[in-house]
Structure 1
Amino acid sequence: MSLPLLTDDLLDRIRSRAAGYDRENAFFTEDLEELTAAGYLRAFVPTAMGGPGLGLRDVAHEQIRLAGAAPATALAVNMHHVWTGVARYLYERGDHSLDFVLEEAARGEVFAFGYSEPCNDLVLFGSRTQARPDGEGGYSFHGRKIFTSLSPAWTRLGVLGIETAAEDGPGLEGDPRLVHAFVTREGGGVDVLDDWDTVGMRASQSRTTLLVGAHAPADRVVRRLAPGPSTDPLVLAIFTTFEVLLASVYTGIGKRALELAVENAHRRTSMKNGGRPLSQDPDIRWRVADAGIAMDGIYPQIDQVAGEIDALVDRGAGWFTAVAGLKVRATETARVVVDQAIRVSGGSSYFASSELGRLYRDVLAGIFHPSDDESAHSTFASALLGPVED
């Protein structure tokens, strides 16, 4: 890209609102309005469809910058970017099944990700939500989705469910399939709970969503896949895009924490060292350097993985280990760096008004996103050692 979509002035305004959103547990309404006006929600839309045509690497860079200003805003916008990024991934590979996502995003629709469910660690490979056929190629969805970011604002929701026979309707032909589809807010059958009162990432308002008959017509059903692991292009697109953009958000948190650690090391002074700034203290210098070394190793990994996806490199099933590992390394590194920054910055960071205190709470959310630490290790163990024998 020639110029960033996110100007420094825009990021400064977004940063100025982050603490208030967090304190009030409020949705980032003003941020979203400004990001929309800047064309940021159209980032992945190809130029032929009226968008700026950014690739995954470009958007990852922008998400690092946005997360440095307001992590919760970046995390929520991530979910919209996931769907437009998935559509772009397929579009570039000659699969036009999600072109409507790009076209609608160009017209201002806001997409959200409705896949996560309570006690479902299969994520893309299974579902507790019922997808009941309507007899015309469409489905109505019945289930409970959690961590639905952008809850107050989305207009389109990507959902996943398992086929079940409709009540007083058509039965199933063959084995049940996992159904990937999109429903609309105006179409009804959706109940968004006001239950988001969390430790961190508060402005994302990732509320619980009850699907109570939300209907996806046949032209919005994008896949019917057998349950279990799959290398279908849609699955690969979701997994790779989701993980890279998550890694970018948490890398942005780590980057900002390191910046604050440097500022605070220069600002704070030590009486035992004659009033010299802590930037001259060897222990503090070691902590800042340690955080810098850790962060320095993440940026090229994001560039490498995202760059290969942009270049249409085909790793097949190898993409699962590549991006799961990236996500875990990025989120875990960010947690360590934030911790180091707090140790450098002292007790003031323990106050709720402290930006570092907020980053400490926000970065914790990284351990809950798929792939979590256990899932990533299981994926690598299977790749390196083979499956567990029965």
Structure 2
Amino acid sequence: MTATSADGLLDDELLERFRSRAAGYDAANAFPSDDFDELVARGYLRAAVPTEFGGLGLGLEVVAELQSRLASAAPATALAVNMHLVWTAAAAIVHARGESFLDVVLTDAGAGEVFAFGVSEPGNDLVLFDSVTSAVPIGDGGYAFAGTKISTSLSPVWTRLGLFGRDDTGGPDGTPVIVHGFLRRDEPGHTSLGDWDTVGMRATQSHTTLLDGAVVPASRIVRTLPVGPSADPLVFGIFAAFETLVAAVYRGVARRAVTLAVEAANGRTSRRSGAPIALDPVTRWRVADLWMALDGLEPQIDRVAQDLDALAGSAPDWFPRLVALKVRATEVAAAVVDGALTVAGGSSYRADSELGRLFRDVLAGRFHPSSSDSAHATVAQRLLGPLG
């Protein structure tokens, strides 16, 4: 399916329905159930799944563009669904590179299962390279997981939770290892706290998940890796899909902010001159500056996604490119929304203003990995070598 034909997945009428509902979900701090049901009905959650697994077989470039379109209407809906799409895109990336250990994701997603991330943990700034969740062997190749996972998007609807934990005795010579697997919702040992009450991206409903001996059998343990930095195909697949699709969501937010800034400039009249503020030189400069900032981001997202689809790019450069993409996308989006607020004026400070909601939503971008600090460290290591 091409990018053009994929547009039918998110036609303008559908996006307007999503946009009309977004404020209500935000105000109610509620999961976007109607949005989600419509996306499922259209097969959107199968977008990145290869056709041989029952999916639509769309590449990452097309999926990223779709996510930007969705985010321009309903950012929190897009970010929530992003977590499922990251798992399926990561599995597709791994599969395309000749590995089959994540085919369980593709098979289940093709059959309609919904995947969420049980990765983020309080106090764990090493993200995938270590865990404060325990993974205890149960004797048959399976593991029992205990710990706290935060920001579990899609909490109300997931049926498969991708998670990981640390087995302190499981590696060679008794060294610690990180164990990755998938928990089914209909199995015991997990509790959602229903505690998501944030400034923005409220409809993602990314509740804290407590794991208390949640058992994942050997058939759904997909990878065991040493503690510490790794370029394993699992880590690369998750990282590549996550950074690219998160960038795509915030690109969509920035696109909408530019549109709203243009509408505001054309819709406001200066009492001093009696003319639309769109004729004011300062306003014209500001709106042009917003567009130019966004225009510089567009090809970076497209090119990274294209190279991932084509299996192109030098291995040592991938992690610096990915972290740079995520940081630039979230920082550009935040600056564009902030600038649009200036153009729109004080009315955008109202709680029921779409720009005001975008301002709150775009703040979430700084909390997704990789942070600006860790991204700069990654790029510096590639350019200057390791410390010490």
Q: Tell me the TM-score normalized by structure 2.
A: 0.97
Q: For residues 335-384 of structure 1, what are the alpha-carbon distances to aligned partners after superposition, in whole Å with 9 as ceiling and x for unaligned?
A: 00000000000000000000000000000000000001111011112112
Q: Offset of 1:3 from its aligned partner?
A: 3.1
Shift of 1:164: 3.6
Which residue in the other structure is 1:220 paired with?
220
Contact 1:231 1:316 in 2 (8 A): no
Number of the residue aligned with 1:370: 369
Cα deviations by residue, 1:117-150 (Å, 9 ceiling, x for unpaired): 1111100111100000111111111010111100
Are residue 122 (structure 1) and residue 126 (structure 2) matched? Answer: yes
Q: 1:274-289, aligned counterparts within 5 Å?
A: 275-289=274-288
2:55 maps to what in 1?
51
Q: Where does residue 157 of structure 2 map in the other structure?
A: 153
Q: Residues 231 and 317 of structure 1 are in contact (CA less than 8 Å); yes or no, is this contact kept in structure 2? A: no
Q: What is the deviation of 1:280? A: 0.4
Please state how far the C-alpha of 1:216 moved relative to its aligned partner: 1.1
SS of 2:387's partner is coil
Match of 2:21 among 11, 17, 20: 17
SS at match of 1:313: coil
Q: Which amino acid aligns with 1:91?
A: H
CA distance in 2: counterparts of 1:90 and 1:58, whole angstroms: 18
Counterpart-to-counterpart distance in 2, 1:317 and 1:10: 41
User: 1:172: Cα distance to partner?
Assistant: 8.6
Query: Residue 265 of structure 1 aligns with which residue?
Result: 265
Partner of 1:3: 6
Contact 1:120 1:127 in 2 (8 A): yes
Residues 214-248 of structure 1: per-residue CA shift (max 9 Å, x gap) = 11111111111111111111111111110000000
SS at match of 1:297: helix
Counterpart in the other structure of 1:192: 192
For residues 94-130 of structure 1, what are the alpha-carbon distances to aligned partners after superposition, in whole Å with 9 as ceiling and x for unaligned? 1111112111111111000110011111001111000
Give the equivalent residue in structure 2 for 1:71: 75
How far did 1:385 drift? 1.6
Asked if structure 1 preserves the Cα contact closer than 8 Å seen for 2:60 and 2:309, the reply is: yes
Matches within 5 A, 1:300-315: 300-315=299-314
AA in 2 matched with 1:3: A
1:64-109 alpha-carbon deviations (Å, 9 max, x no partner):
0000000000001000001000111111111111112111111111
Q: What's the CA shift for 1:315? A: 2.3
| CA RMSD in angstroms, aligned pairs only | 1.3
Q: 1:190 and 1:373, CA in 2 relative to 1: closer, same or farther beyond 3 A? A: same
Alpha-carbon separation, structure 2, partners of 1:125 and 1:304: 27
**Cα gap change, 1:171/1:326 in structure 2, threshold over 3 Å: closer, same or farther?**
closer
Quick one: distance in 2 between partners of 1:382 and 1:173? Answer: 30
Kept in 2, the 8 Å contact 1:133–1:164? The answer is: no
Please give the alpha-carbon distance, in whole angstroms, between the structure 2 residues aligned to 1:317 and 1:160: 25
One of 28, 31, 39 as aligned partner of 2:32: 28
In 2, the alpha carbon distance for the partners of 1:362 and 1:293 equals 22
Structure 1 gap segments, 5+ residues each: none
Inter-partner Cα distance in structure 1 for 2:283 and 2:323: 33
Aligned to 1:380: 379
Unaligned runs of 5+ in 2: none
- The superposition leaves residues 234-267 of structure 1 with CA deviations (integer Å, 9 ceiling, x where unpaired) of 1111111100000000010000000000001000
Deviation (angstroms), 1:323: 0.5
| Structural mapping, 1:172-251, within 5 Å | 174-251=174-251
Larger helix fraction of residues:
2
> Could you tell me how far apart the structure 1 residues matched to 2:301 and 2:333 are?
14
**How many aligned residue pairs are there?**
384
For residues 111 and 98 of structure 1, the distance between their equivalents in structure 2, rounded to whole angstroms, comes to: 12
Within 1, Cα distance between the matches of 2:370 and 2:241?
12
Q: Secondary structure at the match of 1:270?
A: coil
Counterpart residue number, 2:322: 323
Distance 1:71 1:130 in 2: 33
For normalisation by structure 1, the TM-score amounts to 0.96
Partner residue of 1:108? 112
Identical positions, percent: 60
The answer to whether the 8 Å contact 2:193/2:209 transfers is yes
Q: Give the 5 Å matches for 1:333-348.
A: 333-348=332-347
Provide runs of 4+ in structure 1 moved above 3 Å: 170-173
Which residue among 138, 143, 151 is the counterpart of 1:139?
143
The whole-number CA distance in structure 1 between the counterparts of 2:149 and 2:313 is 32
Note if contact 1:120-1:126 (Cα within 8 Å) is conserved in structure 2: yes
